[in-house]
């Protein structure tokens, strides 16, 4: 038994060293293969989640209708139900129209994608989308919505891709502040999440005259994000020992957005 234990420890040690020494490119490919393996599950899970959301919305409407019916003595129940349904359809049509208009007006070639799952990691913010190499997606492509910057592609498999969100601490984007000469680097913080995003611009000048509500735009340097995309708006500005730091409210609602566009070059 002692011999088996020693052999197991030896094998474990060798395995750990091999994994740690594995080139980053190989780990990147391994992650792509893993997400490709689970892509059918991700797609099924996303559609189930969507259907469950629809059921939840339906129950809410029913609840609202019940309250209204109490007021109106149940005389127009069917009419109100159909009205409510039409309202939902209208908002869905409006949302798709906005996305379509954005895609057509954009100077870039945009590939539409749907979010399959949102991450559950504690210290990293990322999500998976239903487009991969077979749709022309590659690593380091920018991901945007009609409202602004969403993130960038880090891992791509054949059918799915992993998007690192703008709220993640490790995604740094060079930005400029509209109406000023100020430039800085925006990134999330470790305490940031999709639901409570916490973005900060660092390396601003200490004398920067920034006011809440000013737009933060991508500067275009770095080669991932084209210039002029909206990142968010200034929430607060404060001066540290060596630099000015601004907190930013992201333009995109990272927790609820469903459809995104991958920037695949210029038109």
Task: Based on the shown chain and the rule CB under 8 A, indicate whether residue 120 belongs to the binding site for another protein.
Answer: yes
Task: Based on the shown chain and the rule CB under 8 A, indicate whether residue 105 belongs to the binding site for another protein.
Answer: no
Cα–Cα distance between 261 and 114 in angstroms, integer?
9
**Cross-strand pairs, 217:** 176, 230
Residue 157, burial from CB neighbour count under 10 angstroms (0-12, 13-18, 19+)? buried
Q: Which is nearer to another protein, 108 or 124 (CB)?
A: 124
Task: Based on the shown chain and the rule CB under 8 A, indicate whether residue 199 belongs to the binding site for another protein.
Answer: no
**Cross-strand pairs, 111:** 262
CB of 122 to another protein, least distance (A): 5
Stretch that binds another protein, among 39-47, 57-65, 104-112, 201-209 (CB under 8 A): 39-47
Among 92, 196, 211, 212, binds another protein (CB under 8 A): 196
Task: Based on the shown chain and the rule CB under 8 A, indicate whether residue 124 belongs to the binding site for another protein.
Answer: yes
Among 84, 154, 174, 218, binds another protein (CB under 8 A): 154
Stretch that binds another protein, among 55-63, 69-77, 117-125, 256-264 (CB under 8 A): 117-125
Task: Based on the shown chain and the rule CB under 8 A, indicate whether residue 9 belongs to the binding site for another protein.
Answer: yes
CB of 175 to another protein, least distance (A): 20
Q: Which is nearer to another protein, 18 or 107 (CB)?
A: 18
Task: Based on the shown chain and the rule CB under 8 A, indicate whether residue 190 belongs to the binding site for another protein.
Answer: yes
Cα–Cα distance between 47 and 134 in angstroms, integer?
21
Q: Which is nearer to another protein, 145 or 187 (CB)?
A: 187
Task: Based on the shown chain and the rule CB under 8 A, indicate whether residue 122 belongs to the binding site for another protein.
Answer: yes
Among 84, 111, 113, 126, binds another protein (CB under 8 A): 126
Using CB under 8 A as the criterion, which residues of the chain lie in contact with another protein when the complex forms? 4-5, 7-9, 11-12, 15-16, 19-20, 22, 24-25, 27-28, 30-31, 34, 38, 41-42, 45, 49, 117-124, 126, 128, 139-140, 154-155, 162, 164, 168-170, 190-191, 193, 195-196
């Amino acid at each position: 038994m002692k011999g088996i234990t020693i052999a197991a420890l030896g094998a474990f040690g060798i395995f750990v060293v091999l994994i740690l020494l594995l080139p980053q490119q190989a780990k990147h490919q391994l992650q792509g293969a893993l997400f490709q393996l689970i892509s059918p599950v991700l797609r099924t899970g996303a559609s189930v989640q969507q259907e469950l959301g629809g059921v939840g919305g339906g129950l809410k409407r029913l609840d609202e209708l019940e309250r209204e019916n109490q007021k109106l003595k149940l005389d127009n129940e069917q009419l109100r139900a159909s009205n409510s349904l039409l309202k939902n359809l209208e908002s869905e049509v409006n949302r798709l129209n906005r996305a379509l208009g954005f895609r057509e007006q954009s100077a870039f070639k945009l590939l539409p994608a749907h979010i399959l799952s949102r991450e559950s990691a504690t210290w990293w913010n990322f999500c998976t989308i239903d487009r991969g190499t077979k749709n022309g997606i590659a690593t380091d492509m920018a991901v945007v919505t009609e409202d602004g910057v969403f993130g960038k592609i880090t891992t791509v498999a054949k059918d799915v891709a992993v998007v690192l969100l703008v709220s993640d601490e490790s995604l740094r984007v060079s930005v400029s502040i509209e109406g000023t000469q100020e430039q800085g680097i925006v990134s999330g913080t470790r305490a940031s999440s999709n639901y409570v995003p916490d973005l900060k611009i660092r390396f601003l000048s200490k004398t920067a005259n920034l006011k809440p509500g000013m737009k933060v735009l991508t500067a275009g340097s770095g080669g991932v994000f084209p210039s002029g995309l909206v990142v968010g708006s200034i929430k607060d500005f404060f001066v540290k020992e060596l630099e000015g730091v601004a907190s930013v409210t992201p333009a995109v609602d990272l927790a609820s957005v469903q459809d995104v566009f991958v920037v695949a070059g210029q038109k």
